[in-house]
Amino acid sequence: MSTATLERPAEAATVEDERVFVTLSVAEQLCGVPVTAVRDVLGEQPITRSPLAPPEIAGSLNLRGRIVTAIDLRRRLSLPPAPAGMPRMSVVAEQGGELYALLVDQVSEVMTLPASSFERNPPTLAPVWAAHSTGIYRLQGRLMVVLDVSRILALSSGS
């Protein structure tokens, strides 16, 4: 058997060594959510407030006939509320068969980054951010926090 048949093809190495993210911003902080966790991206949507819901639950919205719980990412991350009248976007994720919309300030682009550039959360990252992220990427003078959707959706854990 030749050694050439045992080596990984170059294309496979590239795909396995890269991670793809939907980039978004929350209070001017660049964040990334793994593209595999995103079901949909929505523009401004009417949200119906849910009485007696925790403060981070903005309410619910209708997505093609399904009721989706909207979570205000600013509140979830203990950030100041969005300025009045500021349009918000939603990143829709699924967990446990339910859909959730993460309300964010802006959704930017899909970005492919090398897995080798990923870093664990540094000790200087604010505890609330560290509790909801898996790590960071340093990008041309900006820090991109990689959000962990399952931690964000674990509402019973508190913020």
pLDDT of 15 reads 53
Q: Smallest Cα–Cα separation from 19: which of 142, 116, 104?
A: 116
Query: What does the domain layout of the chain look like in residue ranges?
Result: 19-157
Q: Which residues of 78-94 are buried (b: 16+ CB within 10 A; e: fewer)?
A: ebeebeeeeebbbbbbe
**In this structure, are residues 96 and 112 in contact, taking their beta carbons and an 8 Å threshold?**
no
pLDDT of 95 reads 87
pTM of the model as a whole: 0.83
**In this structure, are residues 44 and 90 in contact, taking their beta carbons and an 8 Å threshold?**
no
Q: What is the pLDDT of residues 86-143, one digit of tens each?
A: 999 999 998 888 999 999 999 999 999 999 999 999 999 999 999 999 999 999 989 9
**Terminus-to-terminus CA distance in the chain, angstroms?**
56
Q: What is the pLDDT of residues 7-28, one digit of tens each?
A: 434 444 445 699 999 999 999 9
CATH topology of domain 19-157: OB fold (Dihydrolipoamide Acetyltransferase, E2P) (2.40.50)
Quote the CA–CA distance of 54 and 59 in Å, as a whole number: 10
